[in-house]
Structure 1
Amino acid sequence: MTNTPGHSAAPEPLPYGTPDTPRVAVQGEASLEFDPEIARIGVQVSARGTDKREALNALTRRNSEVLELLKGYGEAVEKLSTGAFSVSPELTEKGRRERVRTYHGRVHISATVGDFTALGELTTRLADLELTRVDGPWWALRPDSSAHRSARQQAVREAVTRAREYAGALGAELVALVELADLGAENSVPPPPAQGMRSAGYGGPAAPGAAAPALDLEPQRQTVRARVNARFVMSRPAL
């Protein structure tokens, strides 16, 4: 750096403080558990037929039945979306000419449920539909959940407490905060499908008047973690 004549350059702060104003660097961590706020389920609707039009018509009908059932739960189903759609031919294994033996059709539907009291009944009713498979539930917190804020605040308080303990061990006190680096607060990895509920209903339609029993699902508590780095200036230690 070039100094202007007649002016003295301001001293650059030392990264590790001085004997009179030492710095203490700590890390604050938090790991809190919360009840889940939403549950996600996946639904796969299938159809097959020797004729492509026949397979498409069956797939369209079953897809409509699933969507109608999901929408019938009103605000309990907070989000509904259709994913992958496919119709593929299955060729005969023998013969010189390529001949289609049957057509397979599939539609994937995702649903986010916020009312857990309806979840058990909903999943069993879906699985009871013809050629319909249900995967889930996968428990989670909403992206804007206050649980994330609580974890971040707890991590900051932990950093302050730890820094005070270090300073107190030297007979000093914290004077000022120099830096607070947020390393992120994120939800735990969602559990794999094997830990949730998985059911499939690939048989024919249920007998008239027979209602599928509702599953008793126990929500899985969610772990939210946060971590921060903090640097403080403390008073001169009493060594």
Structure 2
Amino acid sequence: MSTAAVRQRLDQALVERALAPSRERAQALIASGLVEVDGAAARSAAMQVTAAAGVRVLGRDHPWASRGGLKLDAALDALHIECRGRICLDAGASTGGFTDVLLARGADLVYAVDVGHGLLDGRLASDPRVRVLDRTNLRTLQTVPGPSPDLVTLDLSFISLRLVMPAVVNLAARPADVIALFKPQFELGREAVGRGGVVRNASLAQAAADQFLQWMSATFGARVLHEPLQAAVRGAKGNQEWITHVRLDGEGVAEPGI
């Protein structure tokens, strides 16, 4: 079989042709109607294309390293949080959507923490204001290689925020703002999560976000500065996520076993 006849997924082809930095970004471009194959709009990231196919990207879906940047950018505006001159920790950095926003808004330093390796957009990984902490589990992170962060953002999957907050409280400076993306599918019991991993009971999801904030206040003395806000963009599977914001002012050191 000739090379021209070999087929591959469209999202993979976009990455290999340097038309998108990652498959996640390629999928976002396709979903936004910004990709054409042989002159026709592409409808699916799983579409099979050959090396001879004419694949074209018509524009940018957003300016950030990932669509997560849209969520944080909108949240910072809504919460009136200033990033200029701050030391930040981006937990669950992945390709760097949150890190990208923090830098664009003037952060002095961002610790990009992720359990994965090599995921961060190359442009961000090479930025002198970024300290890449790959292969790092936030739950067991005890120190950072520099000043303590006074702004912590979290975009984590497959783990409850309650399991990582003791580490966040111990790592953060005082005072510090903590902005967490609350994902109900990882916080509620299995009975609340429907087919495809989607929580369809919006009131239940919001109540869980409220309870998380109450727990932060009761456990660590965190100040709840705003009720949960709906994230500007839904999760990849369609889940409505929530932005939570607390401020750490006092000592608030987590006790072992919390």
TM-score (norm 2): 0.25
- Higher percent of residues as helix: 2
TM-score (norm 1): 0.26
- Higher percent of residues as strand: 1
Structure with more contact order per residue of length (Cα contacts < 8 Å, sep ≥ 6): 1
